[in-house]
Homo-oligomer: A and B are copies of this chain.
Amino acid sequence: MSKRPIVTLLTDFGTSDHFVASMKASILNIHQDVELIDITHDVPAHDIFAGAFTLRNAIDLFPRFTTHVAVVDPTVGSARRPILVMTDNFNFIGPDNGLFSYIYQSETVNRVIHITADYYFRNPVCPTFHGRDVFAPIAGYVAKGVDPRKMGEPVNDYVKFETPRPDTSNPKVLRGAVLHVDRFGNCFTNFTKEHISLAALRGGGKFVTVNPQDPTKNREIVKFVTHYAEAQPNELFALFSSTGHLEIAALKVPAARVLEARRGMEIQFHIP
């Protein structure tokens, strides 16, 4: 097979410093015939949740056997473990700090390995840059064909944070939250089609944003659309995003600014 293996990178390293290039060099140093794809390096510094969410949204369509390296690692060098997550489709490499929490839900996980095979690490390992000295080399060797199971022993006690799910205990008022605000100011919520039916959306259901500091700023969103251009300029509306999340958006203005919304803000769905 002549296809070049794919390795993706997601970090909070930004693109101004040498960090990302050093990681790529470290991979190429081990296996030059590889396709490197950036997912993003603009994860907010140390924001494991944001990294986990973006990783989950980005990976669906990558070819099978793609290796995903993710490094948002505020406790690099401490006792937190480096891990390799083998799923039906992909290998994931990064710190065991919850960064793969969404992956554990969306992928079929076959094995989680505590990476201990320091034979494959850069020598010496710098305790502040495992991205370059541990994760990248491991990705290089996996891309080169080394069996991931050689990287260490399986573990079951990997770190997994609870992904925020809507509170559906009150069937008339579902309580969800904003998970992510994208570059257009669209607000991705944790509601999916699992929680909200098209019937409810079209039969008088409405969203209400909850501003705890100033309830006068709470806003109702009554319009549901299937694509952006259905809405009127400046109008707030809801739609199902390309990731499956219910999204609150507005035409020509950033919805997040209109709503003063940030990650974690409560959004309710009222069923008539």
Are A32 and B6 in contact, CB atoms less than 8 angstroms apart? Answer: yes
Instruction: Check A235 for interface membership: any CB of B closer than 8 A.
Output: no
Given A6-B32, A18-B58, do A24 and B42 touch, yes or no (CB 8 Å)? no
Q: Work out how many copies of this chain go into the complex.
A: 3
Q: Are B76 and A227 in contact (CB under 8 A)?
A: yes
Chain B residue at smallest Cβ distance from A41: B15
Contacts of A33 in B (CB 8 A): 2-4
Any chain B CB within 8 A of the CB of A184?
Answer: yes
With a cutoff of 8 Å between Cβ atoms, the chain B residues found around residue A14 in the complex are 183
Of the candidates B40, B63, B75, the one whose C-beta lies within 8 Å of that of A29 is: B63
Q: In the complex the two chains form, what is the Cα distance from A80 to B13 in whole Å?
A: 34
Contact between chains at B62 and A18 (CB < 8 Å): no
Supposing A128-B239, A128-B241, A132-B242 touch, asked if A18 and B40 sit within 8 A by C-beta, the answer is yes
Is A16 interfacial (CB 8 A cutoff)?
yes
Task: Report Cα–Cα, A183/B16, bound state, in Å.
Answer: 7
Which residue in chain B gives the minimum CB-CB distance to A29? B61
Once the chains bind, are A39 and B58 in contact (CB under 8 Å)? Answer: no
Residues of chain A in range 78-94 having any CB-CB distance to chain B below 8 Å: 78, 80
Q: What DSSP secondary structure best describes chain A's contact surface? A: loop
The digit string for A30-48, where 1 denotes a CB below 8 A from any CB of B, is 0011011111111101100
Q: How large is the interface on A (under 10, 10 to 19, 20 to 34, 35 or more residues)?
A: 35 or more
Within 8 Å CB of A39, what residues of B?
Answer: 18, 21
Flag whether A116 is at the interface (Cβ < 8 A): no
Interface residues of A in 164-217 (CB under 8 A from B): 180, 182-184
Q: How far is the CB of A51 from chain B (nearest CB, A)?
A: 11
- A3–B29 CA distance with the chains assembled, in angstroms: 12
CB neighbours (8 Å) of A264 from chain B are none
Instruction: Kindly list chain B residues whose C-beta atoms are within 8 Å of the C-beta of A24.
Output: 37
- Bound-state CA distance A126–B42 (Å) is 25
Q: What does the 1/0 interface line of A138-159 toward B look like (CB < 8 Å)? A: 0000000000000000000000
Q: In whole angstroms, what is the CA distance A43 to B252 when docked?
A: 15
Min C-beta distance of A246 to chain B, whole Å: 12
Listed A/B pairs (12) with beta-carbon separation below 8 Å: A6-B28, A15-B15, A16-B42, A17-B182, A25-B61, A25-B63, A26-B61, A28-B37, A29-B63, A74-B229, A74-B252, A77-B228
Residue numbers of A with Cβ under 8 A of B are 2-4, 6, 8, 13-22, 24-26, 28-29, 32-33, 35-43, 45-46, 54, 57-63, 74-78, 80, 122, 126-129, 132-133, 180, 182-184, 226-230, 239, 241-243, 247, 252
